[in-house]
Amino acid sequence: MALWVQDWEISPRHTPAPRKLIKYPMSNMKKKLDALRDLHGLTTGAKLKTPPQVDDEPHEPHEPHESHEFHEPVYEALHEAPWDDESEYIGEDSPEASPAPASPAQPTITKLADLLQSKGLKTGSDWQTERAANPAPARKPRREARPATPTKGANRLRDMTDRLGVAPDHEFEAHFAQQPLITQEEREAGTYKLERVVPGEIHGDDEFGFYLIRHDYPLEHRQGIVELGSALQSQSKHIAFSACDPALEDFDPRTACFIDTETTGLSGGTGTVAFLVGVGYFTEDSFRLDQCIMRDFDDEEPMLQYLAELFNRHETLVSYNGKSFDLPLLRTRFIQNRIHFRDDKLKHLDLVHAARRFWKKRLKDCSLGNIEREILSIHREGDVPSYLIPQLWFNYLEQQDARPLEGVIYHHEMDILSLVSLTAWMSQCLDAPTGQGFEHVEDKLSVVRIHFRQKNYDEVLVHARAFLEEVEASPLCRECLEMLGYACKRRALWEDMQQAWESLLEGFPGDPVASHELAKHHEHRTRDLPTASRLCKEALTHYATTLGSAGLEGPEARAFRKRLERIEKKLQKHGGELEF
């Protein structure tokens, strides 16, 4: 048995170095502690019944390690204490034994007992004894807690996580707890490897290849409310209009490839890998979908070489948020693997921007899953949530069990087929006259807004007038009348412009845009200075009543005051100021 003690070393700068452990024989240390205790008259509270065994040979004090120095007082006392190894021990039974002195702790114990008695205090042992003899009465049972009601903030957080496809940790763990288990024998035998679970083929060889899953769908295959073959009738002018990209005016569905990726994360950068890349394209009589999946990280280079050859045979890429995520990620992977690929030669149709232009006003959430449910009437069964996909692939690398990946492959397959259906559906809706292909008024107003953004003012006149005939007394009419007034102004249709602004003021009194445009119109074109002055005063009154004195100091109010001063000077020049 040995005793370990800690020691400090003082460096030249007097900063304590890390503590070190020094090993001393327990027998020597025990005898030295006994000697020190006897020297100073100390006691441990327990009297030894048997004398300590003293070695016949004298003990030399234990020398510390050469690199250690002792600075603690206790160690110095141990080394300097007198010790006679040859002295005899005098036991209790020895005739030379002297009466044992009184214990130094006895007076202290007596004083403590007197103090407790005088103050009426009790020790812990006395208190426990009394409590055991007289147990306290049982407490009344507590009222059952009411079930917690989710707060407004909790409901908002839950809605946000559902919309973004994010799950709490307990749902994440519960999902993986339901996954099938694989034994060590099955893993070593490769019973559930990818090529044995998912139908496909190894493109290349075992040394340099990847796993390719190919599906050929007939053109009559229906994805939601649209057949895949209807995408071949998509008109290029509709595609260019929805994308706000004139480069897509020669869009041809037969030379387009629809792409989507499943990655190891959303952070991007060199550490994120696209382990599943899907490319869909039309053949002579079908729609073909190639899903390229990596069995391990060394499958990435042959997979990227195959994709580079496939992209070079097409002219346009169609994706969903591919401009911001998929294509930059693939470009990084091509560079990492030193594979030449010029994606700048390909035109790109990103459907997420088109979907937001048409349906953001009504749906708010324009994720692909929500667009499938609300626009294409697609309801998936057996799908895997997006937030689980990276971990499922990592689990496959570790366990070599591809059964959970079947849901990932199905999820990826549905994503690409939905891109084809969405392209066809947008073109069909735009092909109907005056936006009648869109059912909801918010979507029809979005069509007017896209035409106005692209400065197609003739189309704005047609679609805005059709919208106002169909919709009455709606807050959406305010934006439509505003775009109609500006479109008439750009086409120099002054009477129609005046009618649009007056309708806007009639439906929404005090509208600053209509008041400002009508004041300019009457001041410079109709020369109706009293009406222009009245409009400026009404606008200033509206600012004062709605915003208070602070509203009169804004830039719009200052512009009205400046215009009113100029109009008043013109009125004075032509016969004096008129009173209203």
Paired sense of beta strands 226-227 and 256-263, if any:
unpaired
Task: List the one residue out of 570, 569, 506, 566 whose CA is nearest residue 538.
Answer: 506
Indicate the pLDDT class of residue 326, thresholds 50, 70 and 90. very high
Whether residue 150 has pLDDT greater than 60: no
Rounded average pLDDT over 437-442 = 90
Residues near 358 by Cβ (< 8 Å), separated by ≥ 6?
242, 426, 429, 438, 443, 446, 447, 450
What pLDDT is stored for residue 123 in this prediction?
75
Integer Cα distance of 315 and 313 in angstroms: 7
Integer Cα distance of 395 and 275 in angstroms: 13
Give the largest CA-CA distance in the chain.
Answer: 144
What pLDDT is stored for residue 244 in this prediction?
94
**548: which 2 tokens?**
């208070």
Integer Cα distance of 403 and 396 in angstroms: 9
Instruction: Write out pLDDT tens, residues 193-237.
Output: 999 999 999 998 878 899 999 999 999 999 999 999 999 999 999
pTM for this one? Answer: 0.68
Whether residue 145 has pLDDT greater than 60: no
Paired sense of beta strands 316-319 and 222-223, if any:
unpaired
Position with higher pLDDT, 334 vs 56: 334
Integer Cα distance of 67 and 168 in angstroms: 55
User: What CA–CA distances, in Å, run from 147 to 40, 159, 188?
Assistant: 67, 21, 49
CATH code at 192-431: 3.30.420.10
Integer Cα distance of 110 and 45 in angstroms: 15
Instruction: Write out pLDDT tens, residues 77-100.
Output: 444 444 444 444 444 444 444 454
Indicate the pLDDT class of residue 342, thresholds 50, 70 and 90. confident
Indicate the pLDDT class of residue 50, thresholds 50, 70 and 90. very low
Name the H helices within 432-508.
441-453, 457-470, 476-490, 494-507
Long-range contacts of 558-565 (CB under 8 A, 24+ apart): 559/516, 560/515, 560/516, 560/519, 560/536, 561/536, 563/519, 563/520, 563/523, 563/532, 563/536, 564/533, 564/536, 564/537, 564/540
Indicate the pLDDT class of residue 71, thresholds 50, 70 and 90. very low
Whether residue 238 has pLDDT greater than 90: yes
Indicate the pLDDT class of residue 167, thresholds 50, 70 and 90. low
Lowest mean pLDDT among 77-91, 319-333, 360-374, 521-535: 77-91
What mean pLDDT is reported for the chain? 80
Instruction: Write out pLDDT tens, residues 384-417.
Output: 998 899 999 999 999 999 999 999 999 999 999 9
Integer Cα distance of 184 and 174 in angstroms: 23
Position with higher pLDDT, 298 vs 53: 298
Position with higher pLDDT, 36 vs 507: 507
Lowest mean pLDDT among 78-82, 120-124, 166-170: 78-82
Integer Cα distance of 391 and 398 in angstroms: 11
Rounded average pLDDT over 311-336 = 94
Radius of gyration of the chain (CA): 44
Position with higher pLDDT, 580 vs 56: 56
Residues near 436 by Cβ (< 8 Å), separated by ≥ 6?
none
Position with higher pLDDT, 100 vs 243: 243
In contact, 295 and 210? CB cutoff 8 Å: yes
Instruction: Write out pLDDT tens, residues 496-544.
Output: 999 999 999 999 988 999 999 999 999 999 999 999 999 999 999 888 8
What pLDDT is stored for residue 147 in this prediction?
52
What pLDDT is stored for residue 495 in this prediction?
94
Q: Residue ranges per domain, the chain?
A: 2-41+63-80, 192-431, 433-495, 509-580
Rounded average pLDDT over 308-315 = 94
**509: which 2 tokens?**
């009194």
Give Cα 485 distance to the centre of its chain: 43
Indicate the pLDDT class of residue 120, thresholds 50, 70 and 90. confident
Instruction: Return left, alpha or beta for 478; rule: phi > 0 is left, psi -120 to 50 is alpha, else beta.
Output: alpha
